[in-house]
């Protein structure tokens, strides 16, 4: 019975997180799903899932303390902000003719997988989120080996639920993409690029706050 409860709790957490999450991965996933189609979007969703899995397991096996240190947060926030802004700028500086050439090129399967992994990992709040999730779901569990496995089951249930919701977003974006022409693709690409820049600037603000707190 305890395993069933862990799965139900994990699905509940996963549904909540998946439905309220509007970070850089959400917009990047929708963009890839619209422009690259269902297969490209699913590969990116898999990359996001693998990134979350790595972070979640790292927290589970004891690295959560490292993720909450001041030095790590300052350095990682700065790198993450730069990476997200770079991705956003790259999306808006491309002209329409160059955009058409890029859209019609064959898609490298490895690119979408790596892109999903990287964009999700560049979100500094993903690390803090999983530290918080681990802290929340360990409440009420004992520290025995049996209790640890229950926590792991709950974490995996969260991950698989979020992955399922990401796949649903891919199918939705693929459906929307079939209704749009290249000109609208172009403006969607720019729109998402500006959103990513905004998110990156917010991360820079978070970075400067951490940096200021570090030196004061």
Domain extent at residue 48: 2-215
Q: Binning pLDDT at 50, 70 and 90, where does residue 197 land?
A: confident
Number of folded domains that form the chain: 1
Question: What 8-state DSSP symbol labels residue 167?
Answer: H
3-state secondary structure of 94: coil
Q: Binning pLDDT at 50, 70 and 90, where does residue 105 land?
A: low
Decide which of 23 and 140 is more confident.
Answer: 23
Range 94-133 burial, b when 16+ CB lie within 10 A, else e: beeeebeeeeeeeeeeeebbbbbbbbbbbbbebbebbbeb
Looking at the predicted structure, is the pLDDT value of residue 142 above 60? no
Decide which of 22 and 38 is more confident.
Answer: 38
pLDDT of residue 22: 63
Q: Binning pLDDT at 50, 70 and 90, where does residue 19 land?
A: low
pLDDT of residue 104: 65
Q: Binning pLDDT at 50, 70 and 90, where does residue 107 land?
A: low
Query: Structure pTM?
Result: 0.77
Considering the chain, what percentage of its residues have pLDDT values greater than 90? Answer: 0
What is the chain's mean pLDDT, rounded? Answer: 77
Looking at the predicted structure, is the pLDDT value of residue 143 above 60? no
Residue 22, classified by CB atoms within 10 Å of its CB into exposed (0-12), middle (13-18) or buried (19+), is exposed
Q: How far apart (Å, rounded) are the C-alpha atoms in residues 117 and 52?
A: 8
Q: Binning pLDDT at 50, 70 and 90, where does residue 109 land?
A: low
Q: How far apart (Å, rounded) are the C-alpha atoms in residues 211 and 216?
A: 9
Q: Binning pLDDT at 50, 70 and 90, where does residue 116 land?
A: confident
């Amino acid at each position: 019975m305890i395993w069933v409860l862990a799965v139900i709790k994990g699905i509940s957490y996963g549904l909540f997180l998946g439905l309220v999450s509007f970070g850089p991965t959400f917009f990047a996933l929708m963009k890839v799903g619209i422009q690259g189609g269902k297969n490209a979007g699913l590969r990116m969703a898999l990359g996001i899932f693998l990134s979350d899995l790595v972070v979640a397991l790292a927290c589970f096996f004891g690295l959560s303390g490292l993720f909450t240190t001041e030095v790590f947060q300052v350095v990682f926030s700065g790198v993450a902000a730069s990476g997200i802004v770079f991705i956003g700028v790259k999306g808006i500086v491309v002209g329409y003719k160059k955009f058409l050439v890029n859209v019609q090129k064959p898609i490298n399967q490895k690119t979408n997988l790596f892109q999903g992994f990287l964009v999700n990992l560049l979100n500094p709040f993903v690390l803090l989120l999983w530290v918080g999730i681990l802290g929340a779901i360990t409440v009420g569990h004992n520290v025995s080996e049996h209790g640890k496995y229950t926590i792991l089951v709950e974490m995996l249930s969260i991950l698989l639920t979020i992955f399922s919701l990401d796949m649903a977003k891919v199918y939705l974006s693929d459906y929307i993409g079939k209704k749009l022409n290249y000109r609208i693709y172009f403006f969607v690409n720019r729109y998402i690029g500006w959103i990513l820049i905004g998110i990156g600037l917010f991360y820079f603000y978070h970075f400067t706050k951490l940096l200021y707190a570090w030196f004061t």
